[in-house]
Structures are given as C-alpha cells and as structure tokens.
Amino acid sequence: MANRTGNLQKPTAKRRCTAKRKGGGGEQCKQWALKGQKVCRVHGGKAPQNLAAGERRVNEARVEEETRRALAVLDVPPVDNPLTALSELAGQVVAWKDALAERVNMLERIRYTDDKNAEQLRSEVALYERAMDRCVNVLGTIGRLRIDERLAAISEQQATVVIGAIEAALTHAGVTGQAATAAKAVAARHLRAVE
C-alpha cells in the first residue's frame, strides 16, 4: 500500500486518511485511516467491502512479515544454475497450489458472513486463485524458455565433457583397444544411472 509520497507502508501502520475534507479548501482529512485502508470511517472506511479488503491486507501483511522473518534466519545459497532453479520453483509453485486446493476442498462454504453481516470470500479461496495464476506464469515461462530442452542440452554437453575426460585418461594410462572400449561402456552405464 502506498502513502501520498508513493512510499510503501504496511497496512497495519497508523496514518492519516488520504481523502480531502469537504469545505476544507482541499485540505487532507485529519482523521486516522482504518487498519489496512487509506481512508477513515467518514470517507468510506466503514463500508463492508472496504472493511473486508482492509482485513485481508492486514492478514496478508502479517503472513508476509512472518515469512520474511523466517527467511531472514535461513542461509540462502546463490543460484548457480537458473534453469534448474526455475524448474525447482515450478515444482514448489505447483505443490503450493495443490496444498491450497486441498484446503479449499475441505471448506464447507467458500464464502462466509462476517460480524457486520457482510458476505466475504474465504481467504483460502483467494490464495488458491493467486496460486493458480502463479502456476500459469511460471509454467508459461518454462514453456517459452524451453527449459526442458536447455537442460537436456546441458546434460549432453556435460556427458560429452566427461566421456572426453575418460578417453583422455585412458589414453594417458596406455589403455587402448578392447579394454578402453569396455571402460567407456562402464562409464556410460554409470552416467545413465546417475541421470
């Protein structure tokens, strides 16, 4: 959520209503905005949809902050292979979507009525919808980048380098003929088993 200067603020931060006062010559309202909102109760903050949106923003900010704190204590290694990292991310995104799908499937209703008698969409459903969008984005990116073909090409290049190193080592050791061919076959079987 952005304040008047465009800086991001937490939805839980206390700040002034961004609406202009009537009869105040265009002066900013002096009331505090309601939690998770930009406006006070007089300027629309008490509307059921605005209360619900504010509550959602506050809950999302809490989850983001908890996640940020959890990540801060982890020792996060740099990404050496972005293609592999993107493939792993795709697996995580799909797993997250599937976990949320299970949560949504356990719900008796996808909507509920809050204490103000306003109908609200369950947050699990909203998170599931976002997870599906992320799956489309990540999997679409993988498709556009042809990640599977690139990873296969990298594997082939690595195998060629390894076989070349084995051949050089065998030649250096004086192993030739049928013994060299048998050694290369053993190496090839071993490399296929590792993949």
pLDDT in tens, 97-109: 999 899 888 888 7
| Residue 167 belongs to a domain | yes
Report percent pLDDT > 90 for the chain: 9
* 15 assigned to some structural domain: yes
Residue type, position 181, single letter: T
Q: What is the dihedral of CA 169, 172, 173, 177, to 10 degrees?
A: 90
Q: Give the E-state strand segments of 53-147 in sequence order.
A: 111-113, 119-121
| pLDDT grade for 134, boundaries at 50, 70 and 90 | very high
- At residue 8, the 3 state secondary structure works out as strand
What is the chain's length? 195
Residue 119 domain flag: no
Of the three residues 76, 107, 138, the one that is the final residue of a domain is: 76
- Reported as a single tens digit per residue, the pLDDT across 43-102 is 889 998 888 888 888 888 888 888 778 777 777 677 777 778 888 899 999 999 999 899
Domain membership of residue 10 (yes or no) is: yes
Boundary-marking domain end, from 23, 57, 76: 76
pLDDT number for residue 162: 79
**Whole-structure pTM value:** 0.43
Over 60: is that where the pLDDT of 31 sits?
A: yes
Domain that holds residue 161: 149-194
Total H helices, total E strands in the chain: 5, 2
State how many domains the chain has.
Answer: 2
Torsion of CA 118, 124, 130, 133, to 10 degrees: -120
Please name the residues in contact with 147: beta carbons below 8 A apart, sequence gap of 6 or more.
Answer: 83, 86, 87
